[in-house]
Structure 1
């Protein structure tokens, strides 16, 4: 007997093949092109701010007569590094304190300066846990969950008010999709927060992609409590 021959797979039309090849090429080329564009856009932005203040004799563009991308960015990085180095010694610290004393005596400016400085010190300090953890909270209603970045445990007057209510509250940042640069500051009970193993970078990709890029997870599910770093973990 002749072997049974199954149905032949349907032939793919030329138009469908061209479309599939185009989409495959788009997936490969688009991320590369967007990354290159964003990189050069950032470099041009930094150059536009710094290059005009570089003395002509120190500007390589003066000698080569061509625009060199990244000159301003390199100068800015070197300048900031030098300022940080000088700010750690006695003389540099005295100069910084003198400058801060002037800003602290200037109305309106002192409020802005103190707020910005506090934000940078909180986020950039070595032992900071701010925005290094990701979690889930029920929002906007029970049974519906939203991704949040954990900022810090409630402090100051807020902590006193919450303690009077017998609650340990945590400040979280709830970003929107697909642009996670704006959002809401919420205070939620620590026992209502579910910690996730994903990194802030993975969470940002998840938000920007609208849930399409989901990070892999190979660990155990974390209990819905905060780590000991926040002082609210249950035993």
Structure 2
């Protein structure tokens, strides 16, 4: 029985990662293939080829991103984007959603931004209990004036789904900066501590 149990767990360790990876890739490809609906019926790959080949939506999405990026990078494109932003900001309700999403995306995808560049240890949800979090910035405005001490804004992800979590502000001196990449920290969180990164050098934020 012990041998059977060992074989069972070994089989799970081999198969489960591959199955989950295949499922995630299939979901991504299937979702991106929906972008093919923007093409005229006569241009649909399924009709042109006579068979369905998954993945054309991925290529179309990449092409759209490249074209939009190229257009928005020149003077005329930037003016067009500014005009579109101004138009959206005049639409009630829509402007609130758009502004919030744009601010988050600008912060996350900006090459000069500091959001999600550093993993830290913080005591959460109470003193003496530690977890991994990511620095997203620093409080400012009214909040910074109220806190007075030097604080940092951190995102505390949940396990095993890091897309959900908590936004908290903690004293900078109470954080321990981790000498590990964000990818390693995410693996550690998603695996619930099973996939441990190499032993880091811990230095408190100064």
TM over 0.5: yes
Q: Mind listing any 5+ residue stretches in structure 1 that lack a counterpart?
A: 1-14, 226-232
Deviations 1:137-163 (A, max 9, x none): 122222221211111111233223223
- Largest Rg, 1 or 2: 1
RMSD, matched Cα: 1.5
Deviations 1:37-89 (A, max 9, x none): 110111101112x1211123332221211111111121111111111110111
Corresponding position of 2:204: 224
Equivalent of residue 146 in structure 1, options 131, 149, 174:
131
4+ residue stretches of structure 1 with deviation over 6 A? none
Corresponding position of 1:199: 181
Hey, what's the Cα distance between the residues in 2 that align with 1:35 and 1:127?
Answer: 31
Deviations 1:97-120 (A, max 9, x none): 221111011111111111111111
Aligned positions of 1:57-68 closer than 5 A: 57-68=42-53
Corresponding position of 1:95: 80
Hey, what's the Cα distance between the residues in 1 that align with 2:88 and 2:95?
Answer: 5
Corresponding position of 1:46: 32
TM-score, normalised via structure 1 length: 0.82
Aligned positions of 1:89-128 closer than 5 A: 89-128=74-113
Q: How many residues align?
A: 206
